[in-house]
């Protein structure tokens, strides 16, 4: 016969698996938001900035790297999608009950770290990928690479650091 701790362990495993599945499904919705806003920014709103080189610190968005258009499109689409992601993952996936201010601040630190990487990474790979796949598909491939890396980082950090549930406190009245 299974002990209480074994049953509890199996329930926790099932809960973690369900959270991972739900996180994945909701991340797909976030992906649609991210790609949609990226496309809107990159192919419509900021199109006139494609020929404007942008270089700041480690971010080198030459015209070959998409210029200021690519930088703004990558940055803003990521910010919008991550705001959306925080709200739906906190409520639906993790049902977090910890302090929302703590969660938001920790999420912001994680997202800014991932954003830094996602703004830097295209400057390393975009030019070569665009040569191979063409500009449109190259941008989509780089964006998908960025989103995959972000996904791999975010689930464990959200689950075990940012979006936790408070442990229930025992009611002293009911234990007498």
Residue 173 banded pLDDT, cuts 50, 70, 90: low
Length of the chain: 176
Q: Give Cα 62 to chain centroid, integer Å.
A: 25
Query: What is residue 61's three-state secondary structure?
Result: strand
pLDDT digits (tens, 9 = 90+) for 106-118: 999 999 998 888 8
The predicted pLDDT at position 9 comes to: 65
pLDDT tens per residue, range 121-147: 998 999 999 999 998 999 889 989 988
Which pLDDT score, from 0 to 100, does residue 105 have?
95
Confidence check: pLDDT of 67 > 80: yes
Band of residue 15 on the pLDDT scale cut at 50, 70, 90: confident
Burial per residue of 125-150, b for 16 or more beta-carbon CB atoms within 10 angstroms, e otherwise = ebbebbeeeeeeebbbbbbebbbeeb
Strand partners, 34: none
pLDDT of the residue at 41: 98
Question: Given pLDDT bands bounded at 50, 70 and 90, which one contains residue 29?
Answer: very high
To the nearest 10 degrees (0 to 180), the angle between helices 135-157 and 4-40 is: 150
Span 26-41, mean pLDDT? 95
Cα distance between the two ends of the chain: 30
Contact 111, 90 (CB under 8 A): no
Instruction: Give the model's confidence band at 172: pLDDT under 50 very low, under 70 low, under 90 confident, else very high.
Output: low
What mean pLDDT is reported for the chain? 88
């Amino acid at each position: 016969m299974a002990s209480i701790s074994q049953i509890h362990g199996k329930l926790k495993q099932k809960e973690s698996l369900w959270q991972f599945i739900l996180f994945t499904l909701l991340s797909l919705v976030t992906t649609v938001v991210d790609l949609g806003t990226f496309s809107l920014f990159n192919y419509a709103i900021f199109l006139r900035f494609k020929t404007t080189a942008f270089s700041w610190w480690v971010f080198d968005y030459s015209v070959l790297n998409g210029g200021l258009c690519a930088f703004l499109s990558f940055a803003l689409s990521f910010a919008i999608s991550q705001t959306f992601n925080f709200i739906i993952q906190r409520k639906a996936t993790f049902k977090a009950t910890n302090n929302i201010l703590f969660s938001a601040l920790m999420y912001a630190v994680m997202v800014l770290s991932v954003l830094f990487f996602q703004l830097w990474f295209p400057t390393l790979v975009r030019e070569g990928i665009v040569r191979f796949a063409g500009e449109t598909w190259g941008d989509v491939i780089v964006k998908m690479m960025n989103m995959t890396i972000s996904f791999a980082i975010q689930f464990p950090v959200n689950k075990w650091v940012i979006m936790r549930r408070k442990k229930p406190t025992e009611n002293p009245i009911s234990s007498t």
